C-alpha cells in the first residue's frame, strides 16, 4: 500500500511541472493600405476601376469604386511615381532607380523594362535616374522624364527605350548655369505622337513638335508682368496637363498655376483667389472636358476652377486633409480620385462636391 505513494507523488510532480503557455503568433495585419503608404499617382479607368501607385513598389487596384483594393505585385521595392493606362490592357509605370514597369494584361502582372535612364558621372560611376513623370498615348508610344533632365521614350511598346538628356537652350551665364544645366524634369504630356510638353525645375517648360527629338523652352513668357527677372527664379513646375496642341496647364511652387492657350507661344499665371495666402507647392493639375480644373498640393491644398471661369479657389473636400495630395484623376465629369501621403485615397462621385476616404 505505502509503495503507492511513490507513483502518486510522481504523478503530482509531473502535474506540478506542467507546461508553459506558448506565445501565440497573432498574424500580421494584412491590409492593402497602411497609414505609412505614400501614393503618388492614380488613374481612373472607369467609374469604379482605378489604379494607384506609390512608395515601396506598391500597385493597388480597385474594381468596385474603392470598396476594396487589391495589391498587384510589382516586383520592385522602390517608389513608383506615375501610372498610365492606354487601354484596358496596356499600361506603364515609372519609378525610382530608372524603373519602368509594363503590363499587357490589364495590370494583373507587371514586368520590368530597361529604361536606360542612367547617369554617368565624370568619375565613371553610374546612377539609375528617378523617372518622376510618364505619359503614354497608345500601346506603342510612351515617354518618361526625371532627374538630370533625362527623357526616355519608346515607340515599340517598350521593347526598347531610348534615353537622352533634354538639352536646355537658355544661355545662362555665371555659376548658376551649373545648377540649371540639367534641371530635374517632373512631368511629361503628349497630345499626339508629335506634340508634347515637359515641365520641371526652375519653371522649365519644354515643348516638342517632332515626337521629342528637339525641345524648345517656352517658360520665358511667364516672367512677363510678374516681377521675376531671372529665369532661375521661376517657380519649379511639378505637373502638367495638356488638353490639346494649343491648351495646356501646369502647376508648381508657391501655388502657381501656369497656362497657355496658343500652343505655348505665351504662358501666363492664372489668377488665384484665396482667403488666406496659398504658399505651399501645387503638385498636379488636371482639366476636365467641361473646362473645370483641379490642382493638388502640399498641406492638403486642393484648388478648383469652375467651368468657364478663369480664377482658382480653394476646393472644399468636406474634411480636414493636412498632408500632401498628389495624383488626381477623373474617369468622367462625376467620378474622380485623389491620392496622397499617409495612405490617403479620396473618391468623389458628385463632380468633386464631396470627397470620401477609401480604405483598403
Note whether 68 and 355 are within 8 A (CB).
no
Decide if residue 48 touches other proteins (CB under 8 A): no
Q: Does 279 bind other proteins (CB under 8 A)?
A: yes
Structure-block grid coordinates of residue 19: 507546461
Of the residues 40, 190, 337, 346, which one makes contact with other proteins according to CB under 8 A:
40
Identify which of 297, 206, 191 has the alpha carbon closest to the alpha carbon of residue 247.
Answer: 191
Residue among 35, 124, 173, 225 that touches other proteins (CB under 8 A):
35
Chosen residue from 51, 85, 132, 355 binding other proteins by CB under 8 A: 132
- State the CB neighbour count (10 A cutoff) for residue 30: 7
Question: Pattern of binders to other proteins over 133-172, x per CB under 8 A?
Answer: ----------------------------------------
Give the list of residues 6+ apart from residue 151 with CB closer than 8 angstroms, or none: 143, 144, 145, 163, 164, 165, 166, 185, 188, 198, 212
Q: Does 55 bind other proteins (CB under 8 A)?
A: yes
Q: How far is the CB of 78 from other proteins (least distance, A)?
A: 7
Contact 132, 94 (CB under 8 A): yes
SS3 content of the chain, % helix, strand, coil (to 5): 10, 40, 50
Residues in the chain: 360
**Residue 280 in contact with other proteins, rule: CB under 8 A:** yes
Give the Cα separation of 143 and 158 in Å (integer): 10
Q: Does 29 bind other proteins (CB under 8 A)?
A: yes
Asked whether the beta carbons of 217 and 170 are under 8 A apart, the reply is yes
- Binding residue for other proteins (CB under 8 A) from 207, 326, 335, 347? 326
Which of 73, 208, 188, 95 minimizes the C-alpha distance to 142? 188
Q: Of 314, 305, 327, which is closest to residue 259 (Cα–Cα)?
A: 305
| Separation CA 101–CA 59 (nearest Å) | 11
Closer to other proteins at the Cβ: 44 or 237? 237
Which among 353, 349, 359, 356 has a CA at the least distance from the CA of 44? Answer: 349
How many residues touch other proteins under the rule CB under 8 A: the total is 65
Figure out which of the listed residues 249, 298, 303, 328 binds other proteins, where binding follows CB under 8 A: 298
92 interacts with other proteins by CB under 8 A? no
Task: Classify 350 as helix, strand or coil.
Answer: coil
In the window 214-243, what residues touch other proteins (CB under 8 A)? 236, 238
Q: Which of 43, 62, 74, 96 binds other proteins (CB under 8 A)?
A: 96
For other proteins, the closer of residues 2 and 273 by Cβ is: 2
Q: Which is nearer to other proteins, 17 or 227 (CB)?
A: 17
Q: Cell 529604361, residue?
A: 115
Q: Applying CB under 8 A, which part among 71-79, 257-265, 309-317, 350-358 lies near other proteins?
A: 71-79
Among 32, 48, 56, 148, interactor with other proteins by CB under 8 A: 56
Task: Compute the distance between CA of residue 217 and CA of residue 20 in angstroms, rounded to an integer.
Answer: 73
Q: Nearest 5 degrees, angle CA 201-CA 202-CA 204? A: 75
Question: Segment near other proteins (CB under 8 A), from 36-44, 162-170, 205-213, 243-251?
Answer: 36-44
CB-nearer residue toward other proteins: 264 or 341: 341
Select 277 or 308, whichever has its Cβ closest to other proteins.
Answer: 277
Cβ 31 to other proteins, closest distance in Å? 8
Q: How far apart are CA 330 and CA 352, in angstroms?
A: 10
Query: Which residue matches cell numbers 479620396?
Result: 346
Residues lying near other proteins in the complex (CB under 8 A) are found at 1-2, 4-6, 8-9, 12-13, 15-21, 23-26, 28-31, 34-36, 38, 40, 55-56, 77-79, 81, 96-97, 125, 127-128, 130, 132, 179, 184, 186, 201, 236, 238, 253, 276, 279-281, 283, 298-300, 320, 322-324, 326, 340-342
Amino acid at each position: 500500500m505505502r509503495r503507492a505513494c511513490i507513483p502518486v507523488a510522481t504523478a503530482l510532480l509531473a502535474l506540478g511541472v506542467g507546461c508553459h503557455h506558448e506565445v501565440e503568433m497573432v498574424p500580421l495585419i494584412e491590409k492593402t493600405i497602411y497609414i505609412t503608404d505614400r501614393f503618388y499617382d492614380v488613374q481612373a479607368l472607369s467609374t469604379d476601376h482605378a489604379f494607384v501607385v506609390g512608395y515601396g513598389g506598391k500597385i493597388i487596384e480597385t474594381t468596385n469604386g474603392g470598396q476594396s483594393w487589391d495589391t498587384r505585385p510589382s516586383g520592385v521595392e522602390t517608389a513608383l511615381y506615375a501610372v498610365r493606362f492606354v487601354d484596358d490592357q496596356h499600361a506603364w509605370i515609372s519609378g525610382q532607380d530608372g524603373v519602368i514597369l509594363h503590363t499587357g494584361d490589364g495590370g494583373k502582372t507587371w514586368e520590368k523594362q530597361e529604361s536606360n535612364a542612367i547617369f554617368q558621372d565624370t568619375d565613371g560611376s553610374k546612377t539609375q535616374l528617378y523617372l518622376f513623370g510618364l505619359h503614354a498615348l497608345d500601346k506603342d508610344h510612351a515617354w518618361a522624364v526625371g532627374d538630370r533632365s533625362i527623357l526616355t521614350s519608346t515607340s515599340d511598346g517598350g521593347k526598347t527605350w531610348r534615353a537622352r538628356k533634354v538639352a536646355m537652350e537658355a544661355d545662362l551665364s555665371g555659376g548658376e548655369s551649373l545648377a540649371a544645366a540639367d534641371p530635374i524634369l517632373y512631368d511629361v504630356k503628349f497630345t499626339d505622337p508629335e506634340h508634347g510638353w515637359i515641365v520641371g525645375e526652375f519653371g522649365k517648360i519644354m515643348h516638342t513638335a517632332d515626337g521629342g527629338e528637339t525641345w524648345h523652352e517656352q517658360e520665358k513668357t511667364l516672367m512677363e508682368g510678374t516681377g521675376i527677372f531671372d529665369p532661375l527664379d521661376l517657380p519649379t513646375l511639378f505637373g502638367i496637363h495638356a488638353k490639346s496642341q494649343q491648351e495646356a496647364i501646369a502647376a508648381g511652387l508657391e501655388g502657381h498655376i501656369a497656362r497657355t492657350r496658343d500652343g505655348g507661344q505665351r504662358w501666363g499665371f492664372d489668377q488665384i483667389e484665396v482667403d488666406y495666402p496659398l504658399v505651399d507647392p501645387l503638385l498636379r493639375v488636371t482639366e476636365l472636358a467641361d473646362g473645370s480644373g483641379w490642382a493638388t498640393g502640399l498641406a492638403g491644398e486642393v484648388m478648383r476652377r469652375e467651368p468657364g471661369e478663369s480664377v482658382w479657389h480653394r476646393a472644399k473636400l468636406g474634411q480636414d486633409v493636412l498632408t500632401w495630395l498628389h495624383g488626381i484623376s477623373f474617369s468622367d465629369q462625376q467620378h474622380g480620385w485623389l491620392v496622397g501621403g499617409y495612405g490617403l485615397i479620396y473618391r468623389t462621385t458628385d463632380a468633386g462636391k464631396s470627397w470620401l476616404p477609401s480604405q483598403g
